[in-house]
Structure 1
Amino acid sequence: MFVIFISGSFVFCYAVASLIFFKFPALLHNKKDVKFICRHIIHRGGASENYENTMTAFKHAVSLGTDMLELDCHLSRDGQVVFSHDSSLVPRIEVSGHIADFDYDDLPSLKEKLPIDFMPGVLYSGNSDDRKFPLLEDVFKAFPNTPINIDIKIDDDELITKVSDLVNTYERQHLTVWGNMKDCVTQKCYKQNPDMCLLFSARSVVLLLLKLYT
């Protein structure tokens, strides 16, 4: 009976303490100096309303008042940071190959008509300028005050360095989040530029949930 009483008391105290700390987390942790508040993120620039990772998509997203743009980065053969979800050109381009196979100026344009991934039956029809793969630098210039979430799509030290250099050049450390689902890539990002915020890798998400519920 005594053991049951002790166990019950422990569970009760644990539950009450958890509720208190959930309600008042500052009792355990200092409040972080948050650079910006983000409640609404446009994935790939708004892939259900425009063709993903295009300037048209990003301009539309900002006009709607989004808090953050999300995009994906790759390197061209001559070291330009291009944003695109996939490294392969197929099926968006008439020719086969990968972004890394071409110098930036030689990258072919998107097809004139493309299906929008998250809007079945709807086709994207972009002008000649918008069909060109945009550069990360273009987005920094167009939206200097908009927070941007950069997914480093591949484990590439040169890509990580180039992105970091661009962020520093445009003084966007406080407005830029980067990383990858792979923890090894995210850790490389942190070592390269610890002043930038990090994405949660899959490993970090699991650890966060374990810590939250224990």
Structure 2
Amino acid sequence: MTQQSLVDIAYAKIRENLINATYMPGLFLSENGLAKELNMSRTPIRGAISRLESEGFVLSIKNRGIQVKEISLKETLDILQLISFFQELSVDEVVSRGNRFNLDKLKMYLDQQFEAEKNGDYYSYIHNHILFTCCMISSVNNHTMLEIMDGLKDKFILMAMVNYRLTPNQKHYSANELNQDIYEAIRKEEYSSIKRICKESFGKIRERIIMSSGI
């Protein structure tokens, strides 16, 4: 196996543990520890960490190790606001240009969300939630928007997984009801209702995040 292949494997495994919040924000990792965990030398670990640092997932701190970066309150709200804006824009494009939402795909992701809740699989639930949202936004047929969403998708999952692990006693899986309402409004072509649902959802999430931060 080539050195680059080992870097790719290390990168994929470490990134997966970051996104599903196995490595929580603030945690310090080490090259030696990761090499032992992944059963490989430090060289591919170093290459993987370099890539992850460039993506903003970790930070190398001299004499301390590799710290899992926290997503700031500002970045969290910015990501959520942008996603909400893209959802509303997708509705405007459907109304003004005659684009269509893919109801079959939306229903598939929605069904998988509910199935994940039934199985207690939060990662699968949140993954299908963001895929439902991306499917909605894909109706705009704007490749730049889709590239932005693709870049935000993993950070969105990471934010949700961290919150899930930090708040085990709170009610979760609320996006099932949210996306069910959006799906029904799309099916009935009640486009103003879709925009209202998205606006209200972002407002509630924003308020909850700000209140929990103590600001």
| Fold equivalence (TM over 0.5) | no
Q: Which has the higher helix share?
A: 2
Q: Which has the higher strand share?
A: 1
| Superposition TM-score, scaled by structure 1 size | 0.21
